[in-house]
Amino acid sequence: MEGAGHVVVRNYRAVVEYDGTGYSGFQIQSGKPTIQGELERALRQITQEDVRVIGAGRTDAGAHARGQVISFRTGWSHGPEALQRAMNAVLPREISLREASEADERFHARFSATSRLYTYNIYESDVRAPLLERFAYHVPIALDLGAMDRAAACLVGEHDFAAFGQPPLGTNTVRVVYHARWRAKGAVIGGGYKPGAIRLSRFEIEANAFLRGMVRRIVGTLLLVGRGLLTEDGFAEILSSRDIRRAGVPVPAQGLCLWHVRYDEERSCGQDVWAWCGWP
């Protein structure tokens, strides 16, 4: 579209990766460091414009992203590759534009998305592993991953997820989950289950949208199943109850990652994600 002075304002789309440890989430907040705030600061520095960034998902304080998608409009005229290089030169080292391109005028990072894929990483070990702590949650006992995976299967489909979160806007708590599963890395670091050994596992959940705190509360409740404190049927009953007081305590944010956002032109979010998040 044409702006003042015949400047052509273009719609851009970018994929952002970030380590959210030191940030108060994605969404801009007065007086607090946020991912959106840093992106808008960088765009202002580069384009000399006040550019509003729209994100596909509002990640929690301390949570991470490998595939956060943003959209924004700017009169930048040097092309997306130059914009990506310029942004990565001025952004903090915890934030990077992995891709950048011009988008259709109708593209909106949030409203055009058809699903989001989140992962949650845990490691089981009798002692903490400081090099994993930034991107995974420590569980000091062995878990029944099979029971956790079977319990998670009841999440698939259209359900009212009021037991696991609050709506960011309005009162609708119904969401559609396309897949939910636990997967172990396979090998145990250190060999067997001798003292100091580490087993890595990951929860994957893809849905059309999420409630606030939904993934972390689901994982916290599934960990009760893995510890033998809740049955698989008991987990399903909590989902059906719509009573958030019955759910487990939400797990910490550091294990949570917005891995991928899917749009109409894409087929699936499923990917091998073991090569990231500090996994050896």
CA separation (Å) from 166 to 22, 34, 82, 208?
24, 22, 40, 15
Give the position of tokens 């989430």: 25
Q: If DSSP codes are grouped into helix, strand and coil, which group holds residue 34?
A: coil
Dist. CA 170–CA 164, nearest whole Å: 16
Query: Amino acid identity of 83?
Result: L
Euclidean distance between CA atoms 225 and 223, whole angstroms: 5
CB 135 within 8 A of CB 255: yes
Collapsing DSSP to helix, strand or coil, 121 comes out as strand
Query: Are the C-beta atoms of 217 and 242 separated by less than 8 Å?
Result: no
Catalytic residue among 60, 104, 144, 272: 60
Residue with tokens 């636990």: 182
Give CA–CA dist 8/260, Å, rounded.
Answer: 30
Estimate the crossing angle of helix 232-241 against helix 145-152, to 10 degrees: 30
Residue 277 in tokens: 């998040």
As a whole number of angstroms, the distance between CA 252 and CA 105 comes to 38
List, as one string, the DSSP characters of 193-205: T-TT-EEEEEEEE
Active site residue 243: no
Q: Residue 164 in 3-state DSSP? A: helix
| CA proximity to 22, closest of 11, 33, 37 | 33
Residues assigned a catalytic role: 60
